[in-house]
Structure 1
Amino acid sequence: MDDYFHVILQPDDIRAISSIGLAHLGDAVYELLVRTWLCAHGKATGKGLHRATIGLVCAPAQAQRAERILPRLTEEELAVFRRGRNAQVHSIPQHASRGQYAEATALEALFGYLYLQGRQERINQLFLWMMEE
């Protein structure tokens, strides 16, 4: 593979990646989208930008925003989301409940899964729904 910005893996290759692996990648995808959204909307500058990012990428915020898109997910996406939610995590941040952390992990796994399929348009569509006020 020569282009990690435009990745498309085969379904069997994606299934071979653990839920935690998908969430690891999806966490970066989600954070990049949040940072881009904040900068594009002039929401914050300097130290405020970092705080705003943390406020949107923390597990409770991700869990809350994940709830917004659940009714809009396809059966395939719901299966990936459930797989991510059931991932065996061994440490949970103090500021999040186990349920919130599971939902955040599920969202990240979904974003990682879609990214590896090369489905950036779908990720963007879900992200826009999540960011609606």
Structure 2
Amino acid sequence: MKDAEHNVDVRQLNGITLAYMGDAIYEVGIRRHLIEAGLTKPNRLQHRATRYVSAKAQAGLIALMEADDCLTSEEWDFYKRGRNAKSYTHAKNTSVITYRVSTGFEALFGFLALTEQTARITELTQWCITQVEAGRVRYAK
């Protein structure tokens, strides 16, 4: 899909660019969920959000998506583009592998956002919330 004004082909963007967008999109969905759940104190919000948005959580969620066969082949392709992308930033508080997997998770959400698949973003975000709240996520190291 090309943006008429900027002539950007989303399907040609690199994984890091997709992850940049996806990080924001997924985080907004989680923040909305937490606020709607009644959490209002910033410190509490930040602490609780980590259960959903940390690299370790995202890596655990991708493993569940694979186990539950949640993603289409195209979605897996964009996840892999992010996971395999050369990153110039360093993993903080996690392994390089976990960081790369979480970059892939974010790239998936970036692809969905930039191709305007808002219903799918909502569906996957809700699925992630359900998995975290059910205690199904095994947090990577």
Structure 1: runs of 5+ lacking an equivalent: 1-8
Residues 1:21 and 2:17 aligned together: yes
Residues 1:57 and 2:53 aligned together: yes
Residue type of the alignment partner of 2:32: T
Cα pair 1:59 1:104 within 8 Å, conserved: yes
Shift of 1:91: 2.9
Structure 2 CA distance for partners of 1:48 and 1:24, relative to 1, 3 Å: same
CA distances 1:9-65 after superposition (whole Å, capped 9, x unpaired): 439711232111000000000110110111111245232112222343221111112
Residue type of the alignment partner of 2:97: G
C-alpha root-mean-square deviation of aligned residues, in Å? 1.8
Cα pair 1:60 1:100 within 8 Å, conserved: yes
Cα pair 1:81 1:107 within 8 Å, conserved: yes
Cα pair 2:14 2:81 within 8 Å, conserved: no
CA distances 1:51-107 after superposition (whole Å, capped 9, x unpaired): 222343221111112222232100111111111110111333331111211111001
TM-score, normalised to structure 1's length? 0.84
Structure 2: runs of 5+ lacking an equivalent: 135-141
Cα pair 1:65 1:131 within 8 Å, conserved: no
Listed as ranges, the matches of 1:30-109 within 5 Å are 30-43=26-39, 45-70=41-66, 71-109=69-107
**Equivalent-residue separation in structure 1 for 2:98 and 2:43 (angstroms):** 26
**Equivalent-residue separation in structure 1 for 2:74 and 2:120 (angstroms):** 13
Percent of aligned pairs sharing the same letter: 34
TM-score, normalised to structure 2's length? 0.80
In the alignment, what sits opposite 2:111? 113
